[in-house]
Structure 1
Amino acid sequence: MSYTIGVVEDDKNIQSIVRAYLKKEGYDVIIMSTGEEGWEVWQTNPPDMWILDIMLPGMDGYEFCKRIRMESEVPIIIISAKDDEIDKILGLELGGDDYLTKPFSPRELVARVKRLFKRTSLGKQMEQQPLERMKVGELLIYLDERRIFWAGDEFEVTTKEYDMLLLFAQNPNRAFSREELLLNIWGNDYFGSDRAVDDLVKRIRKKIPDIPLETVWGYGYRLRKDEE
Structure 2
Amino acid sequence: MNRTTILIADDEREIADLVALHLEREGYHLLKVSDGEEAVRAIASHSIDLVILDIMMPKLDGYEVTRLIREKHHMPIIFLSAKTTDLDKITGLVMGADDYMTKPFNPMELVARVNAQLRRSKLLNQPITGKSSILEAGGLVIDPDKRTVIQHGEHIELTPKEFDILYLLASHSKKVFSAEHIFEQVWGEAYYESGNTVMVHIRTLRKKLGEDQHKNKRIKTVWGVGYTFNE
CA–CA separation in structure 1 for the residues paired with 2:125 and 2:108: 21
The answer as to 2:223 corresponding to 1:222 is: no
Structure 1 residue 215: Cα displacement: 2.3
Q: Does 1:134 align with 2:134?
A: yes
Q: CA deviation at 1:135?
A: 2.3
**Identity among equivalent pairs (%):** 38
Question: Is 1:19 paired with 2:50?
Answer: no
SS in 2 for 1:83: coil
Closer/same/farther in 2, CA of residues 130 and 5 from structure 1, 3 Å limit = farther
User: Is the contact made by 2:49 and 2:75 (CA closer than 8 Å) also made in structure 1?
Assistant: yes
Once the 2 structures are TM-superposed, how far is the Cα of residue 41 of structure 1 from its aligned partner? 1.6
Task: Output the CA distance in 2 between the equivalents of 1:46 and 1:120.
Answer: 14
Do the aligned partners of 1:79 and 1:100 also contact (CA within 8 Å) in 2?
Answer: yes
Q: Which residue of structure 2 lines up, in the alignment, with residue 79 of structure 1?
A: 80
Report the secondary structure of 1:100's partner residue. strand
1:202 is the counterpart of 2:208: no
Instruction: Describe the shift of the 1:64–1:102 C-alpha distance in structure 2 as closer, same or farther (beyond 3 A).
Output: same
Partner of 1:90: 91
Give the 5 Å matches for 1:1-228.
1-121=2-122, 125=126, 131-138=131-138, 139-189=140-190, 191=192, 193-209=194-210, 212-225=218-231
Counterpart in 1 of 2:214? none
C-alpha contact 2:117 2:188 (8 A) present in aligned 1: no
Query: Could you tell me how far 1:144 is from its partner in structure 2?
Result: 2.8
Contact 1:77 1:97 in 2 (8 A): yes
Cα gap change, 1:130 to 1:69, in 2 (>3 Å)? farther
After TM superposition, the score normalised by the length of structure 2 is 0.84
Q: Deviations over 1:141-160 (max 9, x none)?
A: 33333232334544332211
Q: 2: distance between equivalents of 1:201 and 1:38? A: 29
TM-score normalised according to structure 1 size: 0.85
Instruction: In structure 2, give the amino acid aligned to 1:42.
Output: I
Q: Secondary structure of 1:181's partner?
A: helix
Aligned pair in 2 of structure 1 residues 5, 130: CA closer, same or farther (>3 Å)?
farther
Greater shift in the superposed pair: 91-100 or 103-112: 103-112
After TM superposition, the structure 1 stretch with the greater mean CA deviation from structure 2, 216-225 or 157-166, is 216-225
Task: Count the aligned residue pairs.
Answer: 224
Which has the larger displacement, 210-219 or 30-39?
Answer: 210-219
Tell me the amino acid that sits aligned with residue 97 of structure 2: G
Q: Distance in 2 between matches of 1:121 and 1:146?
A: 14
CA distance in 1, matches of 2:123, 2:53: 18
**In 1, are the aligned partners of 2:81 and 2:103 still within 8 Å (CA)?**
yes
In 1, Cα distance between the equivalents of 2:180 and 2:190?
A: 12
